Amino acid sequence: MPGPHRLKFQQELADLETAVLGGIDLVVEQVDRVIEALDEQDVELAEFVIADDDRIDGRYLEVHQGILSLLALQAPVAGDLRLVAALLHIIKHVERMGDQCVNIAKLLPLSGHEPPRSDEIVERLSQMGRFARAEVIQSRGALAGRDVALAEDLVARDRDVNRLQREIFQLALDAGEDYDTREWAMHMTLVARAFERIGDNAVDIGEQVAFVVTGLFREFSDSSVPRP
């Protein structure tokens, strides 16, 4: 039977993982808000997203400090050490996804409250945001369930996000000659880039899940090979 120190360590590690999963939940909330703010051109909601990023930053600091304390006071080995290392990476990806939501929120007001919008671009951006949101939720499920197959499937899901980013970029190029419209379209390509980065970070979380389960770290896709 494990001794009291071991039981305490296991509980602290479980609490840290719960905190990380909760951080992913906070990201999902932020993605929901930026999608709504994008659809409705809701500048006030965008400002709320920026202010609420403090919660994600606070969660990052909480988990980061907790892991450092765990490493200093305990000596995790084998599977436990893998989980500790993975959580350290995952919470950083969570923080980055929160930052991408902030980037989107900061872009929305740049063209004013009633910008010259293209419904076609906004529709694709909303779809892209929903796909990225689904990736975040799937990465959470993979971590909670130690599900490597679910983690690996994130690569396939991410292709939809990448495809939409390319489509949005092309639509922005074809936005017309009006200066205000082209400026707005340029901002939307940056929104698309932020959604794409959220998806990429979800895939990165999946890679960490595979590491925890298998003990081997591998990238699910080779970024040095051009995508078709």
Cβ neighbour number for residue 152 with a 10 Å cutoff:
16
The residues, any chain, with a CB within 8 Å of residue 2's CB and separated by 6 or more, are: 10
Residue 2's pLDDT is 62
Where do runs of H (alpha helix) occur along the chain? 4-40, 43-73, 78-107, 119-145, 148-152, 154-173, 179-214
Residue 221's pLDDT is 76
Q: Tell me the domains of the chain and their CATH numbers.
A: 4-214 (1.20.58.220)
Ranges of residues in the chain with a pLDDT under 50 are 222-228
The residues, any chain, with a CB within 8 Å of residue 191's CB and separated by 6 or more, are: 38, 104, 107, 108, 125
Residue 226's pLDDT is 44
Cβ neighbour number for residue 3 with a 10 Å cutoff:
8
With CA atoms as reference, report the closest residue to 88 among 113, 71, 108.
Answer: 71
Q: Which residue has the tokens 């436990």?
A: 80
Asked if 156 and 218 touch (Cβ cutoff 8 Å), the reply is no
Residue 1's pLDDT is 58
With CA atoms as reference, report the closest residue to 202 among 109, 89, 106, 83.
Answer: 89
Q: Is the pTM of this model over 0.85?
A: yes
Burial class (CB in 10 A: 0-12, 13-18, 19+), 84: buried
The residues, any chain, with a CB within 8 Å of residue 19's CB and separated by 6 or more, are: 59, 62, 63, 66
Asked if 26 and 55 touch (Cβ cutoff 8 Å), the reply is yes
